[in-house]
């Protein structure tokens, strides 16, 4: 079997996202995407399972990025701090893609559940990294912190005005992490 080209993957994704941003997700067909990308339907389906996956599947280089981001976290750093920094690092590194993707999702809110489902691979990589950090945290503690960090991102993303750029998303992420550390949030 021939290895899939990251460049072709990105060509297809970029063509799809451009069309979806212009026309809306529902108004774009796979046939529209393949025509715009100059590829066959067969090539499209060799790379993507459907329209949702072209919008949400991780970039072929994302696993390398995740490994770099997790490796850069200092030993002994509290997990909550590390998770906060991982989210900021990942969103900064993928800012252009996130802005374009969020604009499509913002016009078709039903896609929000898809984006949460398909980012499981990122969180799986984070969970694997956290489990092998050499801390005394239990599985319950790891899962609670990771799932809470994920909830911060899932909660702030729909509230993000993409016109504020990635800095606007980072302000919301920071606010979410700060709020969860504040004793006042449970009494309001």
**pLDDT single digits (tens) 29-46:** 999 999 999 999 999 999
Whether the per-residue pLDDT at 129 is higher than 50: the answer is yes
Can you give the pLDDT at residue 42?
A: 96
Band the pLDDT of 1: cuts 50, 70, 90. Answer: very low
Average pLDDT over residues 16-21: 94
Location of each CATH 1.10.357 domain in the chain: 58-181
3-state secondary structure of 98: helix
CATH no. for 58-181 = 1.10.357
pTM for the whole structure: 0.87
Tokens found for residue 63? 């696993």
- Alpha carbon distance 121, 152 (integer Å): 17
Location of each CATH 1.10.10.60 domain in the chain: 6-55
pLDDT in tens, 63-105: 999 999 999 999 999 999 999 999 999 999 999 999 999 999 8
| Residue found by looking up tokens 């941003």 in the block | 21
DSSP string, 50-62: SHHHHHHSPPTTH
- Alpha carbon distance 85, 105 (integer Å): 24
Matching CATH number, 6-55, of 1.10.287.3510, 3.10.20.90, 3.90.550.10, 1.10.10.60: 1.10.10.60
């Amino acid at each position: 079997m021939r290895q899939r080209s990251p460049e072709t993957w990105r060509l297809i994704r970029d063509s799809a996202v451009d069309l979806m941003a212009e026309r809306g997700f529902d108004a774009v067909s796979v046939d529209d995407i393949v025509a715009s990308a100059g590829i066959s339907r067969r090539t499209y389906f060799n790379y993507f399972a459907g329209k949702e996956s072209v919008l949400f599947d991780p970039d072929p280089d994302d696993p390398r990025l995740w490994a770099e981001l997790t490796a850069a976290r200092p030993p002994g750093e509290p997990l909550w701090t590390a998770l906060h920094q991982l989210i900021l690092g990942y969103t900064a590194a993928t800012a252009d893609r996130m802005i374009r993707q969020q604009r499509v999702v913002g016009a078709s809110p039903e896609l929000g559940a898809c984006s949460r489902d398909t980012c499981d691979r990122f969180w799986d990589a984070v969970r694997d990294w956290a489990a092998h950090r050499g801390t005394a945290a239990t599985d319950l503690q790891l899962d609670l912190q990771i799932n809470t960090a994920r909830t911060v991102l899932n909660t702030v993303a729909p509230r993000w005005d993409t016109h504020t750029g990635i800095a606007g998303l980072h302000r919301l992420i920071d606010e979410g992490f700060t709020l969860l550390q504040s004793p006042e949030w449970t009494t309001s």
